Amino acid sequence: MFEAFFEGLFLVFQWPAIGFLMLGVVTGIWIGAIPGLGGIIGLVLLLPFTYGMEPVSAFAMLLGMYAVTSTSDTIASIMLGVPGTAASQATILDGYPLAQKGQAARALGAAFTVSAFGGVFGAFILAVSLPLILPIILSFNSPELFMLGVLGLAMVGSLSGGSILKGLAVACLGILLSTIGFAEADAIPRYDFDLDYLMDNLPMIPVVLGLFAIPEVMELAIRNTSISKIPADQTQGGGMLEGIRDAFRNWWLAIRCAAFGTYVGILPGLGAAIVDWIAYGHVVQSSKDKSQFGKGDIRGVIAPEAANNATKGGALIPTVAFGIPGSLATAILLGALLIQGLKPGPEMLTTHLNVTFSMVWSIIIANIVVAILLMILSRQIAKVSFVPGHLLVPGVILFVFMGAWLGGASLGDWITAFVMGIVGFLMKRSGWPRPPLILALILGSIMENSLQISTQAHQGIGWLTRPIVLIIVAIIGITLLFSSKSVFRPKKKKKTIKEEKKTTGKGIERSPLISLPFSIVLFLLFVWAFFEAQQWPAPVRQFPVAAVVPGACLTLLAIIYDAKGVLQSVQNHGKLRTAWDHISETLLLGRAMIFFGYLLAMIIMMLVIGQKLVIPAFIVIYLIRWGKYSWRIAIGYAIGGWALLVVFYDQILHLFWYQSLLATWLPSILPEWIPRWLII
């Protein structure tokens, strides 16, 4: 075994394997940093190149790329508040506030350090615990997966930012959204409005990008500020070295979260999707001082980043050794394995053990190399937080909408991102927490699927007595106990609104005048969803009904709570109109509406001229009209954006573009020598 272990290392360092590994690392940095891409797209991109390669080089390149995406995805999460990939969604909760405080370099330093640690830890732990993996996987059947889903939802309390009532209601909304499309029990589409787009589940990427990215981008646009609220010359501390020290100071937290990541990562269909949220929930619950979570607590960056890198190694070994892919990405890796003529199974742990270890080493080396590379670059990366917001907005909009488009190459992806952008904006302004929605959306379909199978395979509720289910129930109980303690604990002296705004830019932004209409709409949505569900057979309607009934009750309570807040606000300002004018002015609602108008115009124009022209046009119009930049800068920026669309998204990713009106008649009049892909 030791011989194979070191032979694996030797194989990776041989030429050309090491060259391909480095190529994979560089590709992975790029793929991870761009919102909406991520490891799966990277694997799809590189897979065809591996057909003619020998196995060690092929896997060095694939794993080099795949392993580092959950390190480089931290850049967008911390710098822009936009999740680079699904694995770094939880990182934005504290990473972005740190960047707003001018401490982006610190957050990046801590994130890169624990990412490298998590990746290496995951690979090592898996390598030494190989004999345990198959029994673990086989003992987690549908009932256990369902209960793990419930455990994930129990974290809602920690993700609700102090408003558990609204957090739970939002979680119900997330579950309701997860039921869109064909039901698990029968081929009956739910809430699909007879649209092809809604026949599948709502795609995650457009929802996440809309919910989190668009409100943050709009913030930059309507307030015309840089990401950091504090000028570069006034920042105190917050350097990369401090971040590395933070990582070492919290070594025990990093180990715990990396262990979560490793072992949760091996569970097929569940692990990688929620591990960052579980890690975040864990750090909030296990911390004595929770006051800074959501406002820029470095532990909120360390926990998810240590966990999400550890899942990569965790998911790989069962794929290779038992042919059990833990995620879509590992399913692609399994395909790569078969393409190489290697079969998953005991041979990979005996005859080909050196190749298996070369994969483990590829992950380890890639994690270390990327951490060093990104740390060298982090000082430069951190400067983005001091760049004027108007210069960032068009670029981020390009990545957000193209990232959403990657979900399914459908107009629906853009509309989903846009609608979720409005929802995200309203939630942010009215104190409705957004993370529970994402967590429930991820878990909803997994839970419904697991529950349906559990009740069929284990006769009704017989599965509730399985030993691992009981253990998870106990953990859920403890989790809820911790959550309820924080709810009922006497509130400490509230910071003044001014104080909060100074540090995080939040605080006054939460208004009951916006929350009340939002609560009412949400309540009506739950009621409508309940009656709509009545037309379906029992197994099809059970799960949505189980979400909308508590959702409606909780929202009703929120309406009462918000109505009190509105009355208070009216009392403070004399009358409703004055209160509304005040909040509208403070929150720059008018400018926000205009910004959404810009986005809507972009979507409508896309139908006419297509994405390759509309996005550059948006860049020009935004920079000149809104940002007041010169034509030269606007045109130069737009050409850069267009080149990115044509070279990267078209010629490298081979995307399907929207068939615009222009695309239907332009080819017939365009001279032969002009390639169509430059324009349509």
Partner 1 sequence: MKKRFEMTKKTGIVAMAMLFLLLFIPDPGFAQLYKDKTVTVLIGHPAGGGIDRMARVFTDKLGDYIPGNPTMVVKTMPGAGGYKALNFLYAKAPKDGTLLWFGPVQFVDQLIGSKGIRFDYKKFEPVGAIRVPPVVMFGRTDIISSGFKSFEDILKADGLKLAGTTPKSGIDIQGRSALELLGVPFQYVTGYRGGAKIALAVQSGEANIAVTGFANYSSRLANPVKEGKMLGMWYYPYLDSSEEPIKAEAITDMPDFIEVYRKLKGKNPEGPAWEALKMILEFRSVATNMAMMPPDTDEAAVDILRKGWAEMMMSEEIKVRQNKVLGYTVESVPLSVTNDKLQSLDAVDPKRIENLKAYIAAGARK
HEC letters along 187-231? CCEECCCCCHHHCCCCCHHHHHHHHHHHHHHHHHHHHCCCCCCCC
Helix ranges restricted to H, 37-191: 39-46, 55-80, 92-100, 104-128, 130-139, 142-154, 156-159, 164-178
Of 419, 388, 389, 416, nearest to 404 (Cα)?
Answer: 416
Closest CA to 610 of 651, 640, 646, 639: 646
Q: Which tokens is 191 given?
A: 């809430």
Q: Which residues, other chains included, contact 476 with Cβ-Cβ below 8 Å and sequence gap of 6+?
A: 147, 150, 151, 154
Residue 590 C-alpha from the chain's centroid: 29
Closer CB to partner 1, 183 or 548, in the complex: 183
CB of 656 to partner 1, least distance (A): 6
Whether the Cβ atoms of residue 276 and residue 334 lie closer than 8 Å to each other: no
Distances in Å between the alpha carbon of 166 and those of 100, 199, 518, 523, 551?
25, 28, 11, 12, 9
Binding mask 47-76 for partner 1 (x = CB under 8 A): xx--x-------------------------
Residue 536 · residue 327 · CB < 8 Å: no
- CB of 507 vs partner 1, minimal distance in Å: 42
Task: Count the Cβ atoms, other than its own, within 10 Å of residue 16.
Answer: 14
Report in angstroms how near the CB of residue 462 gets to partner 1 at its nearest.
12
Identify which range of 272-280, 287-295, 325-333, 549-557 contacts partner 1 by CB under 8 A.
325-333
Which residues within the stretch 238-257 sit at the binding site for partner 1 (CB under 8 A)? none
Gap between the Cα atoms of 521 and 535, Å rounded:
22
What single letter denotes the amino acid at residue 132?
L
Binding flag, residue 132, partner 1 (CB under 8 A) = no
343 lines the binding site for partner 1 (CB under 8 A): yes
CB of 141 to partner 1, least distance (A): 5
Q: Round to whole Å and give the CA distance between 205 and 85.
A: 8
Residue choice 132, 409, 647, 674 for contact with partner 1 (CB under 8 A): 409
Site membership for partner 1, residue 268 (CB under 8 A): yes
Which is closer to partner 1, CB of 375 or CB of 606?
Answer: 606
Nearer to partner 1, 212 or 536 (CB): 536
Task: Tell the smallest beta-carbon distance from residue 354 to partner 1 (Å).
Answer: 20
Count of other CB atoms within 10 angstroms of residue 77:
32
Q: How far is CA 224 from CA 94, 192, 387, in A?
A: 22, 39, 11
Residue 200 or 581 with smaller CB distance to partner 1: 200
| Helices 92-100 and 299-322, axial angle in degrees (round to 10) | 140
Only segment of 17-25, 125-133, 181-189, 287-295 that touches partner 1 (CB under 8 A): 181-189
Cα(219)–Cα(211) distance, integer angstroms: 13
Please tell me whether residue 508 binds partner 1 under the rule CB under 8 A.
no
Footprint (CB under 8 A) of partner 1, residues 447-486: 449, 452-453, 456-457
What residues contact residue 673 under an 8 Å CB cut-off, 6+ apart?
none
- Asked if 350 interacts with partner 1 (CB under 8 A), we say no
What is the CB-side half-sphere exposure of residue 618 using CA atoms within 13 A? 30
Q: CB 659: neighbour CB atoms within 10 A? A: 12
CB of 633 to partner 1, least distance (A): 35
Q: Which of 162, 239, 323, 507 binds partner 1 (CB under 8 A)?
A: 323
The answer to whether 65 touches 27, Cβ cutoff 8 Å, is yes
Residue number with CB closer to partner 1 (329 or 400): 329
CB of 338 to partner 1, least distance (A): 6
Q: Which of 241, 338, 474, 524 binds partner 1 (CB under 8 A)?
A: 338
Listed residue (226, 312, 254) closest to 112, CA to CA: 254
Given candidates 85, 142, 309, 430, which one binds partner 1 under the rule CB under 8 A? 142
Among 84, 325, 403, 544, binds partner 1 (CB under 8 A): 325
Nearer of residues 2 and 656 to partner 1, judged by Cβ: 656
Identify which of residues 138 and 473 has a Cβ nearer to partner 1 in the complex: 138
How many residues form the binding site for partner 1 (CB under 8 A)?
52
Please give the structure tokens belonging to residue 4.
């194979």
Spatial separation of the C-alpha atoms in residues 587 and 599, rounded to whole Å: 19
Whether the Cβ atoms of residue 20 and residue 308 lie closer than 8 Å to each other? no
As measured in angstroms, the least distance from the Cβ of 366 to partner 1 is: 20
Shortest distance in whole angstroms from residue 262 CB to partner 1: 20
Site string for partner 1, 514-543 (x = CB under 8 A): -----------------------xxx----
Q: How far is the CB of 186 from partner 1 (least distance, A)?
A: 5
Could you give the string, one character per residue 184-223, with x where binding to partner 1 holds by CB under 8 A and - elsewhere? xxxx-x------xx-xx-----------------------
Q: CB-wise, 380 or 668, nearer to partner 1?
A: 668
Residue whose structure tokens are 């001091």: 386
Q: How far is the CB of 529 from partner 1 (least distance, A)?
A: 20
| Footprint on this chain of partner 1 (rule: CB under 8 A) | 40, 43-44, 47-48, 51, 137-139, 141-142, 184-187, 189, 196-197, 199-200, 268-269, 323-325, 328, 331-332, 335-336, 338-339, 341, 343-346, 408-410, 449, 452-453, 456-457, 537-539, 654-656, 659
